[in-house]
Structure 1
């Protein structure tokens, strides 16, 4: 005997819609009503499939890292340190100021814009960011071509500072072309030929 009615929505599509809404409006700026409207589901379905708002955000953040933000993990596979850094910095411009994405970075904005009531969500986004920085540090530690005088941990923090700055500028409305120029200047300054 079949159990219950089949779902009338695609959870993957609904999660993508929630991700975009969180990305555009932030965690605290997004209500459950906003989420159910954009996801095309009711609150009981949201709770049944995704859990509460915080759990849904955690799933959306995972989707962000493995979807639009996957360039960061892929960049670590580049052959040289220069290529890793170039891919990260240029990728940050495309992710945060691209024509087909919301402006800014989901994890950066969450870390900076969550108040005390959303401290656990802020910590989740911060842990995600720190994991990315740690992976970059490990990649630099293993690099035979690390430029002389560069400490792997400090260089990883610097690259993350640059990409975070790009995200903040994108969220403030800085155009893609200007961010690309800034990225190119940062690369020339950081890694002169």
Structure 2
């Protein structure tokens, strides 16, 4: 028996084979892209890498996030949001200046060493700075992120000054920049492969320099 052709059915089957664009969660896809840029940098992360990480083909990727440069900016903003969620509670916690700085540094370190393949540092430092040279918008975002961190440290030092933990002539802004440089150093050293023990020792040395050696029990 000869089976009659069914053009409508064939077209439907072909449509199923082609498939509709895969459903995706924009927040999840953006975080996957963020992690790809974080690990590989802007230049190192190809569109194929980003497509594989997000599970989206190139047309879907462009449709959702725009071109690679726009996606990188969105990833950087996404990182800043995630970083704030981790760092704000650390800055706002109580305790002495030493306790507060220790809490902030270890909160940052937990973020900087969270990669599946080892320490990857801060996205702003490890990926953002390279692109900042050629993208003014990224440069401004990186600068704003660093200045925001400076302000957080400045508030810590102002609080410590009011509590009598610092000399009366202490320069809160200058101390904040020094504390911020330490954050950047942790990022670089984490990405360079230093162990958690080495980074913990660096934090202790920084706390001794800023706050004075801790009294032995």
TM interval, shorter chain, is: 0.7 to 0.9
Distance verdict in 2 for CA 1:40–1:166, change over 3 Å: same
Partner of 1:24: 39
Report deviation, 1:76.
Answer: 1.9
TM-score by structure 2 length? 0.75
Partner of 2:100: 84
Q: Does 1:97 align with 2:113?
A: yes
Query: In terms of Rg, which structure is larger?
Result: 2
TM-score by structure 1 length? 0.83
> Equivalent residues in 2 for 1:4-83 (5 A)?
8-68=23-83, 70-80=85-95, 81-83=97-99
CA contact (8 A) 2:119 2:190 kept: no
Partner of 1:110: 127
Q: Number of residues paired by the alignment?
A: 189
Structure 2, gaps ≥5 residues long? 1-19
Report deviation, 1:23.
Answer: 0.8
Please give the root-mean-square deviation of Cα atoms over the aligned residues, in Å.
2.5
Q: Which stretch has the larger CA shift, 155-164 or 65-74?
A: 65-74
> Equivalent residues in 2 for 1:108-147 (5 A)?
108-114=125-131, 116-141=133-158, 144-145=162-163, 147=166
Structure 1, gaps ≥5 residues long? none
CA contact (8 A) 1:93 1:183 kept: no
Once the two structures are superposed, what CA deviation does each residue of 1:13-49 show, in whole Å capped at 9, x if it has no partner? 2111111111101122222222112111022222222
Distance (Å, rounded) in 2 between the aligned partners of 1:189 and 1:109: 26
CA contact (8 A) 1:110 1:125 kept: no
Distance (Å, rounded) in 1 between the aligned partners of 2:159 and 2:78: 28
